[in-house]
Structure 1
């Protein structure tokens, strides 16, 4: 399991370094980075979401899947509330980035291989189910956090924009496909899956481009980064452990929920920050430092479980 975690972190950093190199050499420009961010949010990420629901749920797994869905919903609502208190002293823009980083983990990229290494195919299924409320909340509450400053129009217009978000549409389409056991035609599914597979490398290249202007020495010298990392990688998994334990869950499902929340800050937070021009440097720093430190904290959390 530890080797799986280490491999995923190394992969993340290698791809991130490609982004840094491309931006330093001006292969990526400011404009192209923004265009890639829009491509990821509007095309590749929705494709990844749809392809992740390509499961036929057997009767024996339905109850566990329902519980995972409920726990994921409770966990993210809980984190929305807790993050408000954790960031109450922060400036408005910093609060948006940090709250999003605390609420949304990098469960997609690191979660699937991590759960597959521990529980096999059923772990992948549980991770996909966990991702349903995750994606709904990400593209509703998460989008609202970032977009509310960008809209001068009514709340109705903001809500309309969020509900028409490709990520939300993809999530509901995926749910419908899974519940009805409908399968996309093989060529269409492979096309959608291939496009979705672009999401992780594309996202990390974008984050690398954003990090290209950051002084790495400043990241490690900034004591606040360590506090943020402690909250994200240690405190929040412990709080999630307590919540799921209070709900009386079995060790297996409890471990899944905790480990998925013990992964680093979601890369998509950096993408949102880039898109809405809100503290993208802070978002990139948090993504970088939490990804690096997760190499040590995830095995620690696993040993506690």
Structure 2
């Protein structure tokens, strides 16, 4: 019961910040420009600083070297989920113009805006490198296969911009993580004032991420949340199949228990926040994507404490 209450408490911490974003958005504080600004502040400034500050302060060379071999688990999990997503989309007879979005949201999760905040709230900063290992696989899948699938919905098939794809994969958060790892491996110490700057700026990551989610939920409109064939299929993939498959992969392994818990939670995060943006860019149904992001985000607040109870 204590574990369940801890999980619920962690979720309420996150929910409180989401509610702030939701009601400030309802009050008209944010427009599309400010929403984009918050996303940029998190992904291009706060999160890279957070990576540098946390990893350089809390992790040793030995710990970091032990991480990368376990990258295979999210890669295997998402590969299997993709195959299942294609099969399920055919079985459920998902509309042609929704099929790519359905498949991408089925097997790819929101590992930064929600996943990072959830894991840090529940497990502390010791979970950060494990979050980032999963993120490396997740972001690669989204900006390659995921973007291709969404583009197919909008009638833009058969072409991937390699330069743009590499730019999205090697995003500021991942580059911040990689730089921090290199500095730790070579035992480089940065000046104290610089580390303090990284820590203060990195502290913006979680509150701004949650406020962004609140804005996104308000923009999509809770009244649009519904349970039809498309939506239930995505919910099945995100909240049932993904964590079940990841559990089967990691439980028999020798990785640390915390890493197993982080991987399972990361696999069960909501649909990618970037999905509506990419859908709009490629002429796919961005409204459908936005509703699914909002719906999976809201329901994740129920799923997370249940998963914590099961894992403990």
TM tier, smaller: 0.7 to 0.9
Aligned alpha-carbon RMSD (Å):
4.0
Decide whether the 8 Å contact of 2:109 with 2:238 is kept in 1.
no
For residue 3 of structure 1, what is the aligned residue in structure 2?
A: 5
Q: 1:1-305 counterparts in 2 under 5 A?
A: 1-54=3-56, 55-57=58-60, 59=62, 61=63, 64-87=66-89, 89-92=94-97, 95-96=100-101, 99-100=104-105, 102-105=107-110, 106-116=114-124, 122-137=126-141, 158-165=161-168, 166-167=171-172, 168-220=174-226, 222=228, 224-245=230-251, 248-249=253-254, 252=257, 253-267=259-273, 269=275, 279-305=285-311
CA distance change for structure 1 residues 302 and 44 in 2, over 3 Å: closer, same or farther? closer
Post-superposition CA distance 1:24-63 (Å, at most 9, x none): 332212333233334433333333344443243254x467
Decide whether the 8 Å contact of 1:234 with 1:301 is kept in 2.
no
Deviates more, 1:4-13 or 1:76-85: 76-85
Measure the CA separation in 2 of the matches of 1:303 and 1:175: 33
Cα deviation, residue 192, structure 1: 2.7
Q: How many residue pairs are counted as aligned between the two chains?
A: 298
TM-score, normalised on structure 1? 0.74
Cα deviation, residue 160, structure 1: 1.5
Unaligned stretches of 5+ in structure 1?
none
Measure the CA separation in 2 of the matches of 1:53 and 1:144: 33
Post-superposition CA distance 1:195-242 (Å, at most 9, x none): 333233333333333333444233155564344223211211111122
**DSSP-derived class of the 1:181 partner:** coil
Unaligned stretches of 5+ in structure 2?
none
Measure the CA separation in 2 of the matches of 1:15 and 1:186: 30
Measure the CA separation in 2 of the matches of 1:194 and 1:141: 35
Decide whether the 8 Å contact of 1:33 with 1:206 is kept in 2.
yes
Cα deviation, residue 248, structure 1: 4.3
Deviates more, 1:234-243 or 1:78-87: 78-87
